[in-house]
Amino acid sequence: MIAWQKIRGYLRGTLQHLFIGGIIVFISILFPTHTRFKYSYEQGQIWNYEDLSAPFDFAIKKPDRLLKAEMDSILADFSPFYRMDDSVGVRSLRKFDERFDDQFKNLEKSQFLDVRRNPELYRKFGEKFLQNKHQRGVVDLDPSHQREDKNFVIHLLLGGTFEERTLSNLFTLDKINQTISDTLQNCGLPNADFLYALLVECLEPNVTYDKLNSELARKEMLSGVAKHSGMVRKGELIVPRFGVISEPVQLKLESLKEHFEIEIAQRSWGIYFGYFLLTALVIGLFAAFLYLYCRPLFDNWYELIFLLAWFPVFAYLVYIITRIDALSVYIIPFGIVPILVKTFYDKWLALFTHSMIVLLATFLSSSGFEFAFLQTLIGVVILLTNVDTRDWNQYFFTILYIFLAFCLGYLGLSLVQQGSFKGIDLAMFNWIFLSTFLTLLANPLIPLLERMFGYTSSMGLAELSDLNRPLLQELAIKAPGTLQHSLQVANLAEAAARRIGANHLLVRVAALYHDIGKINQPEYFIENQGGLNPHDQLPYRESARIIIAHVTQGVELAKQYRLPKLLNEFILTHHGTTLVEYFYRKEQDAFPGEVINEADFCYPGPKPRTKEESILMLADSIEAAAKASLKNPAPGDIQALVERIIASKLSKKQLEDSALTFNDLEKCKAVFLQILRSVYHARIEYPAEK
């Protein structure tokens, strides 16, 4: 076991290094280290450069539409290749004989009397049917050929040679049931239905698509299409100055550009290696930061991919934008990354991730200090603001702060460089506005990333807290008492979480869903009972099993309804590893002197670990106990109840793994007392109406 763990650790580490190395290589390739074609042109425009003559001989490529039309014409007459496997027929006959014997042995005396009298007759008929169909060919059509008509021609490999066949000469799987049914109806056997299921099961396709030969044949046919339509000799005039760029001229220019990038543009390996070192340094330092200070994130593949994937994404965006003359690199919304990372993790990781991405983008864009300063400034603004994607007002204010910081930063840099307002490039403010506006895309990305990587954000939690969600609606219909209990627990837990600074929204949502497992058998839980108690008819051990099962059944329902995995932990831990006390005591009373296995009456756990899980356990137990025992409580009854429940959890070591401190526990206790006293306060008894 230890050796296997070491191997797994080694493999995981190797894959992580390969993944990080792959990102470094990919980004390094994007750096501009080769000579670019210096002319820009469009069809119909005037050539404003000097006369352009061919620096070398090159071929003129055909127009794309003409080349495509020729290829489509060739492919329209193309016949794919299929291969017949003779071993399938032998295997099907063997399978048929085995299934026939099994089915014949299990026949009852009153079933298929003719089959019982003449079994070999039916066996031979089935074998002959399978042989005929496999000799003809049972074809498993490739999905791309499913819609072809019966005259569609294929090349079929038979005896080492390919023969042309039409689909009408083969037996296709889409008609298997109908063909077998028609054959059996007209065969004249009294009990032909006996063979139907056997033939359907045993008739396997023996003609399959030969992708390799098909692709080779297709490539060979397409390779015969001429891709060029002439030559330009060295020194020949391509386009004169102020000449119109017609379609033939454009084709010559595109052909020249293509040959230029192949024959003249030389990649400098020294420059490439320098950029490779810089990229490796940035990515390596970021990975080292995760390894040293965020080790759980580094060890989790999904989270490592989420954090590192932003580097190649934004590197590629910079790469694309810098090659479009009409766009500025400032249009790229770098603020999206810190907003998303801050939403799912914390502000310091968000700022560090943003800074490293900006550092890398600075190398790619060659924008220098100005670009790095402004983008880093944006990350600091996002760090300082309260980015709440649920609150659109707050979110818009964050976007406004980003825009103002961007504008003021650029204005200050321009004044330092130009010395006056006259030299400021006003068009830059347009790019700043567009970049800030595109930062709004962080909001719709949150639910998408939640589903892709299994995250849970405040936005997703707010959606789950809606009582109109399908699972909560089902709980309201099938187990209304449980829903009311869950709402009360949610109120208690949320208030306690607010008091100690825990995630109150997470606790509230977890409280709403913690008992969803009771949907399956709601009548076995006291809050849903209106009369007879079904436990009265069951052994105590079976009753305990049903009660305990609502935990595991709740997890299954959560997976079925695709709830966040984080909620599964609350469902599993809200009872910890406690006993189902009532039925355990009943079992002891029913069998005095007998040793009772406590494990049969214990919840599976685990014990709560986070503050939120611990609060839910306490709130759930206190609310249930209060509802059961506090009818007309005296002033000290509520406090005694809360003290007893908390002391019980501590004595049974249910909070030993919890992050909840004793100070937090005292604050939670005060909140529970305050709310319960307001719920169970004494009421005025109104006189009866005369």
Phi, psi of 171 (to 5 degrees): -105, 110
- Max mean pLDDT among 30-34, 406-410, 593-597 falls in 406-410
Q: How far apart are CA 559 and CA 513, in angstroms?
A: 12
Q: How far apart are CA 489 and CA 514, in angstroms?
A: 10
Q: Which of 278, 398, 418 is nearest to 350 (CA)?
A: 398
pLDDT at 352: 93
- Residue 118 structure tokens: 């003449």
Whether the Cβ atoms of residue 634 and residue 623 lie closer than 8 Å to each other = no
Using alpha carbons, list the distances in angstroms from residue 677 to 165, 617, 635, 645, 663: 86, 20, 9, 16, 21
Find the largest Cα–Cα distance for the chain: 118
- Residue 255 structure tokens: 């052909």
Q: How far apart are CA 604 and CA 98, in angstroms?
A: 46
In whole angstroms, what separates CA 559 from the centre of its chain? 14
- Residue 615 structure tokens: 């609060």
pLDDT digits (tens, 9 = 90+) for 121-160: 888 888 888 888 888 888 888 877 776 677 788 888 776 7
Q: Which of 165, 154, 156, 169 is nearest to 79 (CA)?
A: 154
> What residue type is assigned to position 276 of the chain?
F
Reply yes or no on whether the pLDDT at 688 is more than 70: no
Q: What is the DSSP letter of 561?
A: T
- Residue 559 structure tokens: 């997976």
pLDDT at 311: 93
The partner residues of 46 in beta bridges, in order of sequence, read: 244
pLDDT at 690: 45
Phi, psi of 465 (to 5 degrees): -80, -5
pLDDT digits (tens, 9 = 90+) for 588-619: 888 887 778 888 889 988 999 999 999 999 99
Q: How far apart are CA 522 and CA 514, in angstroms?
A: 14
pLDDT at 3: 64
Q: What is the DSSP letter of 677?
A: H
Phi, psi of 562 (to 5 degrees): 55, 45
CATH 1.10.3210 positions along the chain are 458-679
492-524 b/e with 16+ CB inside 10 Å = b? Answer: bbbbbbebbebbbbbbbbbbbbbbbbbbbbbbb
Q: Quick check: helix, strand or coil at residue 69?
A: helix
- The CA-based angle 10-16-18, given to 5 degrees, is 100
Q: How far apart are CA 55 and CA 63, in angstroms?
A: 22
268: left (phi over 0), alpha (psi -120 to 50) or beta: beta
pLDDT at 215: 84
Phi, psi of 647 (to 5 degrees): -65, -35
Q: Which of 317, 393, 408, 391 is nearest to 361 (CA)?
A: 317
* HEC assignment per residue over 391-447: CHHHHHHHHHHHHHHHHHHHHHHHHHHHCCCCCCCCHHHHHHHHHHHHHHHHHHHHH
Whether the Cβ atoms of residue 49 and residue 228 lie closer than 8 Å to each other = no
pLDDT digits (tens, 9 = 90+) for 525-577: 888 887 788 888 888 889 889 999 999 999 999 999 989 888 999 999 999 99
Q: pLDDT grade, residue 262 (50/70/90)?
A: low
The average pLDDT across 327-342 equals 90
Q: What is the DSSP letter of 244?
A: B
Question: What totals of helices (H) and strands (E) does the chain contain, helices first?
Answer: 28, 10
Q: pLDDT grade, residue 179 (50/70/90)?
A: confident
Count of CB atoms situated within 10 Å of the CB of 50: 8
Q: What is the DSSP letter of 245?
A: -
Q: How far apart are CA 525 and CA 13, in angstroms?
A: 48
In whole angstroms, what separates CA 667 from the centre of its chain? 39
Reply yes or no on whether the pLDDT at 627 is more than 70: yes
Q: pLDDT grade, residue 681 (50/70/90)?
A: low
- Fold assignment, 458-679: Hypothetical protein af1432 (1.10.3210)
Q: Quick check: helix, strand or coil at residue 266?
A: coil
Q: What is the DSSP letter of 663?
A: H
pLDDT at 689: 52
Q: How far apart are CA 481 and CA 479, in angstroms?
A: 6
Q: How far apart are CA 569 and CA 558, in angstroms?
A: 11
pLDDT at 517: 93
pLDDT at 669: 93
pLDDT at 115: 81
- State the number of CA atoms in the 13 A half-sphere of 405 facing the CB: 22
The partner residues of 163 in beta bridges, in order of sequence, read: 156
Mean pLDDT, the chain, as a whole number? 83
pLDDT digits (tens, 9 = 90+) for 337-393: 999 998 888 889 999 999 999 998 888 776 667 888 889 999 899 888 877 666 777
Q: How far apart are CA 587 and CA 601, in angstroms?
A: 10
Q: How far apart are CA 446 and CA 339, in angstroms?
A: 10
pLDDT digits (tens, 9 = 90+) for 421-460: 776 777 888 888 899 898 888 888 888 888 788 787 788 8
Whether the Cβ atoms of residue 80 and residue 154 lie closer than 8 Å to each other = yes
pLDDT digits (tens, 9 = 90+) for 308-324: 999 999 999 988 888 88
Q: How far apart are CA 387 and CA 342, in angstroms?
A: 8
